[in-house]
Structure 1
Amino acid sequence: MTHTFSVHVYYEDTDLAGIVYYANYLKFIERARTEWVREMGVDQAALKQDEGLVFAVRRVEADYLIPAKFDDDLTVETRVDAITGVRIMLTQEVKRGAQVLFVAQVTIVAITESGHPARLPAIIRRNLH
């Protein structure tokens, strides 16, 4: 299963050279994950309020391959590599057309509001298996 999310590069996303500032790729992939979870039917605000659970990034390994530029239309593709009871391992690619610009391996975990690890919500486990 691959989730796709569109991103348009605005001037504010770029540095003086007109290329996307490196930290903004992390924002792009975060937005894509948020929409992916929403499309699975998970209301993250309700999850926090009702069950005291939130999602956190545990690990990111990122490769910057080719720069994106001002006014580019990009696509973020998110796919699940593995899931356990407590974590989701994803690959996220930022593309311009078929060209891969950025790749990240991301590990997501569920935690309590006090920061302790928690089991992934059942709705997530059901939707990903």
Structure 2
Amino acid sequence: MQIKIKEINGDEFLIQIEPTETVAALKSKIEIEKKISTMEMKLLFSGKVLQDDKTLDDYKVSETSKIMLTRVKVDLKSLVQKVLTKYYDSEKAASIATLVVANMKKRVQEYSLDDVERLAESWNQTR
């Protein structure tokens, strides 16, 4: 089926997906279409935030449905924690993520202007 996705700015587009596919699969298709990270997406349907592990059938999404796409800011700690939960339980992942972010902040504060300039030049060369 094709479902309509509406962005907060009013733009709309269609995505081809099966009703038995998950919300996570829908987000992946939107990521390919719109170049928006799945981590930055929140999908809403009938006043509910769609959960990644549920199927479109679970929410009674049909071909005539319209799903709202909003973007959310992803903080570094959440991103690190999500990666770490693949290897650790959620409590340990949260603890490690807190340490990683604190360590990164400390190191960034110690950068000189030359360090920042080198990072910027390096980043520009990879684009």
TM-score (norm 2): 0.28
**Which structure is higher in RCO with an 8 Å CA cutoff and minimum separation 6?**
1
Question: Between Structure 1 and Structure 2, which shows a larger proportion of strand residues?
Answer: 1
- Structure number with bigger Rg: 2
TM-score (norm 1): 0.28
